Structure 1
Amino acid sequence: MATTDRQLATLALAHALNAAERGLPVIPLTAAKLPALRSPHPKGSARPACTGRCGRPGHGVHDATTDPTAVRALFAAAPHTAGYGIACGRGPHRLIGIDLDADAVGPAVRPDGHLGAQTDGALRQLALQHLFTIPPTLTVLTPGGGRHLWLTVPADVVVPSSASRLAPGVDVRGTGGYLIGPGSHTPYGSYRLAPGTANLPPAPCPRTLLRLLTPPVRPAGTAGTAEATGTAGHRPPRGLEQGEGLVHFVRAARAGERNTRLFWAACRAYEHGFGEALAPALTEAAVRAGLAAHEARATLASAARLTAGRSEAA
């Protein structure tokens, strides 16, 4: 017998109350994974930036709460609920999520959520490049074959959300965003806990990974220093050890991902001010991986155009 909308809403509320009891602030979501309550402010109103100060629900993640009475009220006001979201960056846990799509997960990730020694994919490459490991942590499997790794961060750290900034297929659910809670339903299936991780608490984010998630703001005027002093063609700028990891990342690309990896690595290099210095090494790495030299140069040029001005803005 098919599950009715009422049953989905009841199940979602039960899961949300369980999460709230564990100190995780929740909001109701639709089957499309969007906040289930509409904004109380009409489009074009004078209060487009209201984050709930008006006292009415309908402000997305700003409605998130751990108060069971308030949770019930939110869900009662949203009868078409099919799931729930968990606000990231909020106390007491300061939760964030590493969102791996099916390609980034790779075939060798163990069912318990650990990243095994043979794990393929962008996150493993990133971990090898920067010498960190993901500790055992609560992990949620998505209907599309991906997974969300739950981690916690210190109270004084703000982690921005991002899409494929760390690596292709690796997204970050940070402060101001939300994670889809296990038990939530979508037209493509349900979110569920990975076997063996249900009793694990969200692990603290490794320090090295945390630094990657919160890149320091560089002083204005530092971008392009090597080029300005005429040293870019002779030696790489300070900090270009990062570039070595980017080169290895491109060199390890397989068929079907060479252009994607090269473009991502080039964007990171240009954003950090050493794109021109690293371009020859990136080109060589892409060619070794099997990409034609003219394709590699075109991809690097596209990355340079896309990131123009970003390093100065940082």
Structure 2
Amino acid sequence: MSNHEKALDNALRAAALDYDVAPTTINKTPAIPSPHAKGHNCKGQCGQPGHGVYDATSNAADVRRLFELAPKAVGYLVACRGRLVGLDIDRKDGVDGFATLAQLGREHGFEIPQMTTTVFTPSGGAHVWLTVPDGVTVPNSVGRLGPGLDVRGTGGYVVGPGSTGRNGEYTFHPRRGYTPPQPVPEALLKLMLPPPPVVRPQHRVIPTSADAAGRALGGLVRVVLTAPPKTRNSRLYWAACKAWAHVADGHLAAGDVEAELIDAALQVGLGEGEAKRTIASAQKGVHA
């Protein structure tokens, strides 16, 4: 049996278990080229194949058709949809994702379920299949949990067992084989989910009085608030330099300057830490 035939056979087995699958190359990438030019945002709405993970299906006839369109396919992907998420543990190039995961478990008080689908990768890592509660959307992430730990969430995929990669074959855990994916531990799920949105403080309106310094600070704040996206940090630095000069002249209070400029920076999308560093750097430049 060729690697193409073996991949198709295993993909059909996965499809029979209601997993959505699609063919992949020896580089673990989708095997059917896109019908669109670069920069498109079509996710299969056009009805043509060639949309990567969005081609994935559990219909056996459609799986066979996809493999017919990809004669060089030697593997298949399993789409992370619905409740399925994949924890990709890497062990290569001096990084040990297993050690990272063990440390994370000790710090947050969780263990990975033993009886869940585990697929070993040719490089010595593993893909652990887990489930999340209905309605929970887990994003893809690379290294956010720690070195060697990636998350394959909505819109992502794991390489299916029985696939051939450039470094070898993806295989089920030798003693367990396929077992239904188990729920992700609650503590780990919290780490997989994005942090809650930052509640930004409501902008304080500077009184429009005859006070020249107040008007000056208000103008500098507006410079930051109206900055185009790629100029926000540089505009903040310029405004901070001007504001600190007013502080040095005794016309403005340092606390007011810092509070108003940080507030404006947060409103245009800069991080608080970045804003504070930029304002501090401007202060040093004024007093240099």
Please give the range of the TM-score, normalised by the shorter of the 2 chains. 0.5 to 0.7
Whether 1:160 aligns to 2:124 is no
Give the match's secondary structure for 1:164: strand
Distance 2:164 2:128 in 1: 19
Give the match's secondary structure for 1:144: coil
Distance 1:40 1:208 in 2: 41
From 166, 173, 194, the equivalent of 2:173 is: 194
Distance 1:60 1:185 in 2: 18
Whether 1:68 aligns to 2:60 is yes
Q: Residue 84 of structure 1 corresponds to which residue in structure 2?
A: 76
Distance 1:185 1:310 in 2: 43
Q: Residue 20 of structure 1 corresponds to which residue in structure 2?
A: 15
Distance 2:272 2:141 in 1: 17
How far off its partner does 1:199 sit?
Answer: 3.7
Structure 1 counterpart of 2:19, which letter? L
Distance 1:310 1:15 in 2: 47
Give the match's secondary structure for 1:135: coil
Structure 2 counterpart of 1:28, which letter? P
How far off its partner does 1:220 sit?
Answer: 2.7
TM-score (norm 1): 0.61
From 9, 18, 27, the equivalent of 1:32 is: 27
Whether contact under 8 Å (1:220, 1:312) holds in the other structure is no
Distance 1:77 1:311 in 2: 50
**Residues 310, 204 of structure 1: CA spacing in aligned structure 2 closer, same or farther, 3 A cutoff?**
farther
Q: What runs of 5+ residues in structure 2 fail to find an aligned partner?
A: 202-268, 275-288
Q: Residue 48 of structure 2 corresponds to which residue in structure 1?
A: 56
From 124, 135, 151, the equivalent of 1:172 is: 151
**Number of residues of Structure 1 aligned to a counterpart in Structure 2:** 203
Whether 1:150 aligns to 2:142 is no
Q: Residue 302 of structure 1 corresponds to which residue in structure 2?
A: none
Distance 1:30 1:216 in 2: 35
**Residues 97, 312 of structure 1: CA spacing in aligned structure 2 closer, same or farther, 3 A cutoff?**
farther
**Residues 130, 81 of structure 1: CA spacing in aligned structure 2 closer, same or farther, 3 A cutoff?**
same
Q: Residue 140 of structure 1 corresponds to which residue in structure 2?
A: 119
How far off its partner does 1:105 sit?
Answer: 4.7
Whether contact under 8 Å (2:3, 2:74) holds in the other structure is yes
Distance 2:60 2:79 in 1: 15
Whether contact under 8 Å (1:98, 1:172) holds in the other structure is yes
Give the match's secondary structure for 2:96: helix
Structure 2 counterpart of 1:192, which letter? T
Root-mean-square deviation (CA), in Å? 2.0
How far off its partner does 1:97 sit?
Answer: 1.0
1:248-290 deviation line (CA, Å, top 9, x unaligned): xxxxxxxxxxxxxxxxxxxxxxxxxxxxxxxxxxxxxxxxxxx
Q: Residue 123 of structure 1 corresponds to which residue in structure 2?
A: 101
Q: Residue 194 of structure 2 corresponds to which residue in structure 1?
A: 215
Distance 1:200 1:73 in 2: 28
Distance 1:220 1:312 in 2: 15
Give the match's secondary structure for 1:13: helix
Distance 2:44 2:191 in 1: 32
Name the % identity. 48
Distance 2:62 2:271 in 1: 42
Distance 1:51 1:218 in 2: 27
1:6-37 deviation line (CA, Å, top 9, x unaligned): x1111110000000000110010000100000
How far off its partner does 1:196 sit?
Answer: 2.1
Distance 1:173 1:50 in 2: 21
